[in-house]
Structure 1
Amino acid sequence: MKKFLFADLDDTLFQTIEKCAVREALEPAAYYSDGSICSFTTPAQRAVFDFMSAGMTVIPTTARSLDAYRRVDIGFTSYAILNFGGVILQPDGSIERDWQGRMHGLMTAALPGLQELAARIGDWCARTGYGGRPRLVEDEGTPFFIVVKDPDKVALNLERVEREVVLPWIAGEGRDYCVHRNGNNLAVLPRSLDKADAVAYVTERLRREHGEIVTFGMGDSRSDARFMADCDYAIVPRRTQLAKLALEAL
């Protein structure tokens, strides 16, 4: 029986140097657009990836855009899920057009809300003197979500943006959107954008191609929890947001 692992990338298979608990024998795993190193793998992560790759097919399931995904230096050979589920790549690297058409319609409908919230965050930043700014993430001509990063990489600074601007908006006219904050990333997504929906779509494809299969889900954050829960088994790296919420809490 074929086995497939849907795996988040950042903070799951690799991470920035600041998040590396062990800093010996690190190897580059992803790069910035200027060619400098963005993220690294530890020896343990490489051993786990080799172990998993030997027995199952690994399918990246990430918030990364197509450009950022292409700057990941790890060999994947099957489907890939990008932009929180907004884009699906087929095994040959081409975009799955049926899915793309569906998501383009949903995201176009959600764009006015994202623009409204981006304007509110921008006004709040100007009024308070906060240095961060909202950015609309688009890929292949489709808008997907808003992201805010703290310019000083102080993750707690984003809590105030979430509490004072984002959550009140979601509680009112923004009820069709959700917020995800982990580390130095605060993202606001339409509820119609979810990794779990893309994983379900790819899983159905895999069942048609291979018959009965076993699926595994692996991720570090609460935004990964839904697609992981839909898989047959879930894998959670330690010292991550999801580990603190689901495992360390017990």
Structure 2
Amino acid sequence: MIVAFTDLDDTLFQTLRKLPPGMEGLTPATLGRDGQPHSFCTPAQSALLAHFVDSGVTVIPVTGRDPAAMARVTLPFTSWQVLDHGLTILRPDGQVDAEWRGRVLEALSPLQEALEDCTVSISELAEALGCRLTRHTAHDTHFMTVFKHPDANAASLGRVQNALEDRLKSREHADLHVIANANNVSVLPRHLGKAEAVRYLRGQHFPHATLTLALGDSLSDLAFMNACDLAITPPGGQLLRTVSAAKLPQR
């Protein structure tokens, strides 16, 4: 058995804004809240998914999307699903995996005070910089705070990121960490996420898989990609941009 654990946004599909103008052969992959197509697969991405299906590869999405956002994905995923940055696992029948839910709630309980401290302490700065603050929950429990700038202003997001990282260090919130991309900055649990969910599924439900593949585009995907046998990343993503910019000695 081969299992592919894959990030979704900017890995298997993306919005038109992130595609070359006039690209042909696009396949709708998600719907917006208005019910209209919002993200699209390129011909290459569609070919990869078709190859997985034709080859009998089990494809498991590993995404930051919550259940409501995942419901707007129109691609035919039929196996397990990892949502909420790893804090929710859906079984193939669509039900929440109860064992994983119990582990998550046990781990989240001692983090609530630190999460709230970071959220409140940065909220005034974030508002002054034009960022919108959103508390995200899984299983009715706060697990992540996201600061998003409507214009993806890099300077504003950078200041929020620095302030969050300083807060974590000064308060010794070692069990939280900060992740960032072009649109937002988030604070969430360090040792509870996509990687732990993938390891759980590998150990509990796919212990005899002969090959596990990981697909992801961002630095926050690295941990779960390292939990698999081989990794695949798209060109132009945060991962390859970071590696390309690194001045590493050739040995």
Q: TM-score, normalised by structure 1?
A: 0.91
Residue 248 of structure 1 deviates from its aligned partner by 6.5
Q: Name the structure 1 match of 2:133.
A: 134
Q: Distance in 2 between matches of 1:144 and 1:231?
A: 25
Q: Distance in 1 between matches of 2:109 and 2:181?
A: 26
Residue identity in the other structure for 1:99: W
Moved more, 111-120 or 231-240: 111-120
Residue 29 of structure 1 deviates from its aligned partner by 1.2
- Give the 3-state SS of the residue equivalent to 1:237 in structure 2: coil
Residue 24 of structure 1 deviates from its aligned partner by 2.5
For structure 1, list consecutive stretches of 5 or more residues without a partner in the other structure. none
- Counterparts in 2 of 1:16-165, with a 5 A limit? 16-21=15-20, 23-55=23-55, 56-126=57-127, 129-163=128-162, 165=163
Residues 119 and 7 from structure 1, CA distance in 2 versus in 1: closer, same or farther, beyond 3 angstroms? same
Q: Name the structure 2 match of 1:195.
A: 194
Residue identity in the other structure for 2:240: A
Residue 115 of structure 1 deviates from its aligned partner by 1.2
Q: Distance in 1 between matches of 2:4 and 2:96?
A: 20
Q: Distance in 1 between matches of 2:43 and 2:155?
A: 30
CA contact (8 A) 1:106 1:192 kept: no
Residues 58 and 247 from structure 1, CA distance in 2 versus in 1: closer, same or farther, beyond 3 angstroms? farther
Q: Distance in 2 between matches of 1:76 and 1:166?
A: 36
Q: CA RMSD in A?
A: 1.8
CA contact (8 A) 2:126 2:147 kept: no
User: C-alpha deviations, 1:191-246, integer Å up to 9, x for none?
Assistant: 132211000000112335xx343101110011111111121111011100111223
Q: Distance in 2 between matches of 1:107 and 1:34?
A: 33
Q: TM-score, normalised by structure 2?
A: 0.90
User: C-alpha deviations, 1:4-43, integer Å up to 9, x for none?
Assistant: 0000001100112111135323232112333233311111
Residue identity in the other structure for 1:172: S
1:171 lines up with 2:172 in the alignment: no
CA contact (8 A) 1:108 1:143 kept: no
Residues 247 and 230 from structure 1, CA distance in 2 versus in 1: closer, same or farther, beyond 3 angstroms? farther
Q: Name the structure 1 match of 2:227.
A: 230
CA contact (8 A) 1:61 1:80 kept: yes
Q: Name the structure 2 match of 1:180.
A: 179
Residue 178 of structure 1 deviates from its aligned partner by 0.7
Q: Distance in 2 between matches of 1:185 and 1:29?
A: 22
Choose the corresponding residue for 1:217, options 214, 221, 226: 214
Q: Distance in 2 between matches of 1:32 and 1:108?
A: 33
Residues 36 and 207 from structure 1, CA distance in 2 versus in 1: closer, same or farther, beyond 3 angstroms? closer
Q: Distance in 2 between matches of 1:41 and 1:212?
A: 27
What is the percent sequence identity of the aligned residues?
Answer: 38
Residue 133 of structure 1 deviates from its aligned partner by 2.4
